[in-house]
Each structure stands twice: as C-alpha cells, then as structure tokens.
C-alpha cells in the first residue's frame, strides 16, 4: 500500500510564553492524491498546525510524518531540506520576494531541493504560468509589481514546481473576489490532478468544501488549550 502523504500521530505543541496557545492532535492523515479542506475560525490554530506539518516549528511530543519521514526526528537543516523537497507551501501572504523576478520566485524552492530540481522540466516555470492563466512575459517582471491575483498564482506556481507530493495552502483565496477565487481554485485543482499531489488547504470559508475529497474541522481533529497570562 502507498504511504500516506502526511500523518500526525499523538502530536502536542505549545507556543512558548506565558499567554500561550497549544494544540494536540491524536490522529490525522492525508492520503496520496487526496484533497482535504481544514476548516477553523480565525485564531483557532490552523496556521500553527501547518507550521508543525511544514517543520517550521517542532512538536513537543508525537510524530509528524511526511512521505514516510518523521519530521520530529530531524535537525533544523534536515527539516528545511525535507520541506523544500517534499512540500509545496502557499503562504497566507504569499511570501514572494518583491524585488526578484517572477521566474526567480518560482524557481526558488528548487535551489534547496536537488531531487525536486531533477523532476522539474526545463521550462516548467513558463508551462505553469500558462496553465495558471498568467502571460509568459510575466516571468521577467518583478514580483512586487503584480496584482494580488497574479501574486497568488505565482505563489501557486512556486508551490507546484518540481511536483512535490504534498501541497499545503494557508487561506490562499482570502484576498480574492468570488469570480477570481473560482478561477484560482479551478487552476490549482487542475494542476494537482495532473501531478497526483495531495492538497491540504486551511480556510474559514465552508463554501469551498464541495471541491475537496474531504472536509475536516480543526476542532474535530485537535484539542485546543489556551492559557491566560
Ligand atoms: N509565533 C507565535 N508565537 C506565539 N503564539 C503564536 C504564534 N503564532 C500564533 N500564535 C498563537 O496561536 C494561536 C493560533 O494562531 P494561528 O495563527 O495558528 O490561528 P489561525 O487559525 O491560523 O488564525 P487565522 O485564521 O486568523 O490566520 C493564536 O492565539 C496566536 O496568538
């Protein structure tokens, strides 16, 4: 049987500090090729969970397994490499480098991921831009000069390049109007279907649910702890 793209097993995490927020997840998995929408209110811990999955923060207890590798057992450098190789991340604020070209922004993850670089076709950045409805000549433009909708698509191209097995997206449609949101999601799902990548997207917008294989509420998979200062 094929390994799940992601497994959380008895994971516990608490942000350091007095007024701290913590969560624990006894069991959660995303299968290869599966798309999962994770719903939760603002401030409920969705981004915290994604940071744990991406290895930006490490669990206090339990295991986070990405494509068969336990992230919690790795040092910081190895976690960064695993993230670059195995996860395409679409951040809430896109995190594009504003003074770098669109091309450099899209190719950036490949600098830290030799295996992913090998999988990327020579002109994949251009192919992705076209598939995502961006003009080809956008590759040489500075990312900081793009519209929000264009930045969002560039962020998707950066996440998809080199076909990482898991795509993690943090509220990527929050700044879009309904029509642009629809186009954006259609393009994202088309690409993910083409590469058989798994998708875990977090949102507070229940209306997105019908597009996904599975909809999960954070409160169904996680116990939240809040401590007042
Ligand atoms: N770097 C941090 N240090 C300490 N606490 C943090 C940090 N990041 C987030 N938190 C706390 O964790 C809790 C959950 O925040 P988080 O950003 O995970 O929620 P969210 O569901 O993603 O919210 P939103 O939908 O508004 O983005 C909040 O109480 C927040 O203050």
Over residues 168-182, the pLDDT tens digits come to 999 888 767 777 778
| Residue 2 in this model has a pLDDT that exceeds 90 | no
| Residue 229 in this model has a pLDDT that exceeds 70 | no
Question: Higher-confidence residue: 72 or 208?
Answer: 208
Is there an atom of ligand 1 within 6 Å of 18 CB? no
Closest-CA residue, ligand 1 atom 27, reads: 42
pLDDT in tens, 87-139: 999 988 788 999 999 999 999 999 989 999 998 888 999 988 988 888 879 99
Is there an atom of ligand 1 within 6 Å of 40 CB? yes
* Token pair recorded at residue 128: 């992705």
In angstroms, rounded to a whole number, what is the distance separating the alpha carbons of residues 108 and 158?
Answer: 7
Q: What is the pLDDT of residue 96?
A: 92
Is there an atom of ligand 1 within 6 Å of 48 CB? yes
- State the distance from the centre of ligand 1 to the C-alpha of 199, rounded, in angstroms: 21
Tell which residue, 105, 168, 189, 90, has the closest CA to residue 140.
105
pLDDT in tens, 14-61: 998 877 899 999 999 999 999 999 999 888 999 999 999 998 899 999
| Residue 64 in this model has a pLDDT that exceeds 90 | yes
φ/ψ (deg, to 5) at 69? -105, 130
From 41, 43, 175, the mutation candidate for ligand 1 (largest count of ligand atoms within 8 A of CB) is 43
Residue 162 — very low, low, confident or very high, per pLDDT cuts 50/70/90?
A: very high
Own/partner pairs, 66-73, CB within 8 angstroms, 24+ separation: 66/5, 66/6, 66/166, 67/3, 67/5, 67/165, 67/166, 68/3
Half-sphere exposure of 7 (CA within 13 A, CB side): 12
- State the distance from the centre of ligand 1 to the C-alpha of 170, rounded, in angstroms: 12
Looking from the CA of residue 40, the nearest atom of ligand 1 is 21
């Amino acid at each position: 049987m094929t390994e799940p793209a992601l497994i959380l097993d008895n994971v516990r995490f608490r942000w350091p500090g007095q007024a701290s927020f913590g969560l624990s997840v006894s069991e959660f998995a995303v299968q290869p090729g599966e798309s999962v929408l994770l719903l939760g209110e603002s401030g409920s811990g969705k981004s915290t969970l994604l940071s744990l999955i991406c290895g930006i923060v490490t669990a206090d207890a339990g295991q986070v397994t990405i494509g068969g590798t336990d992230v919690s057992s790795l040092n910081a450098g190895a976690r960064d490499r695993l993230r670059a190789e195995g996860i395409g991340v679409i951040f809430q604020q896109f995190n594009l480098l504003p003074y770098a070209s669109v091309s450099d922004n899209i190719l950036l993850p490949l600098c830290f991921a030799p295996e992913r670089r090998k999988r990327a076709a020579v002109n994949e950045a251009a192919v992705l831009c076209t598939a995502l409805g961006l003009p080809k000549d956008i590759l040489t433009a500075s990312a900081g000069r793009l519209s929000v909708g264009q930045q969002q698509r560039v962020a998707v191209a950066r996440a998809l390049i080199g076909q990482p097995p898991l795509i993690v997206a943090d509220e990527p449609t929050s700044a879009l109007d309904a029509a642009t949101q629809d186009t954006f999601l259609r393009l994202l799902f088309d690409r993910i279907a083409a590469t058989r990548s798994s998708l875990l997207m977090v949102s507070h917008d229940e209306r997105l649910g019908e597009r996904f294989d599975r909809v999960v509420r954070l409160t169904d998979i996680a116990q939240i702890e809040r401590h007042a200062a």
